[in-house]
Amino acid sequence: MEDRWLSVDEIGIYLGVKRDTIYKWISEKGMPAHKIGRLWKFKKDEVDEWVRKGGAI
């Protein structure tokens, strides 16, 4: 299994949403994200669990 950090653009493509939506979900919905320097990075398994629990609603 691939276990690498995904960028905002990559997680947006994976979820089928625009990057603006990703930033909104981080700030308003508690989307699991990690800030590394100036960049937001994501673990796919954390985001999958967040979506399953209804975080993106």
Give the pLDDT score at 3.
82
Average predicted confidence (pLDDT) for the chain: 95
Give mean pLDDT, residues 24-42: 97
Per the CB < 8 A criterion, the answer to whether 12 and 22 are in contact is yes
pTM: 0.90
- Tokens coding 27: 């700030």
Per the CB < 8 A criterion, the answer to whether 9 and 41 are in contact is no
